[in-house]
Structure 1
């Protein structure tokens, strides 16, 4: 699901993003503990919504390299 017009002040930038510029992945908590994830340079496109379990599993998969081909 994609949502639009989320509060700008609630976005948190990825710790892997550089400190300058708008090229980063951002996340914020959404209603019912869902996680909204978006692109800082394309906020008008909205944000994807994930359950906490799905988001945690995705992050774990990236960290462990299990998403690599």
Structure 2
């Protein structure tokens, strides 16, 4: 699980925030996601199209309050 990835913290994550995620972009357009407070914990991988659909749903406010 310790691949050589460059992780980016969400711009919505702040010092006082308890819900933080980090992303790593893979060469095949997939995206890995992990909890920034548990970096050795589980990671989820999303294919490019699935990630794009998720981002669009967030932008369109289709997910509501989770």
Asked if Structure 1 and Structure 2 have the same fold, meaning a TM-score greater than 0.5 normalized by the shorter chain, the answer is yes
Aligned match of 2:57 in 37, 58, 61? 61
Q: CA RMSD in A?
A: 2.3
Give the corresponding residue for 2:32.
36
Instruction: Check if 1:13 corresponds to 2:9.
Output: yes
Q: Distance in 2 between matches of 1:21 and 1:41?
A: 12
SS of the equivalent of 1:5 reads coil
Tell me, in whole angstroms, the C-alpha distance in 2 between the residues paired with 1:63 and 1:53. 15
Q: TM-score, normalized by length of structure 1? A: 0.73
Aligned residues: 64
Name the TM-score, length of structure 2 as normaliser.
0.76
4+ residue runs over 6 A deviation: none
Higher relative contact order (CA 8 A, sep 6+): 1
Supply the distance in 1 between the matched residues of 2:12 and 2:62 (Cα, whole angstroms): 18
Q: Which runs of 5+ in 2 are unaligned?
A: none
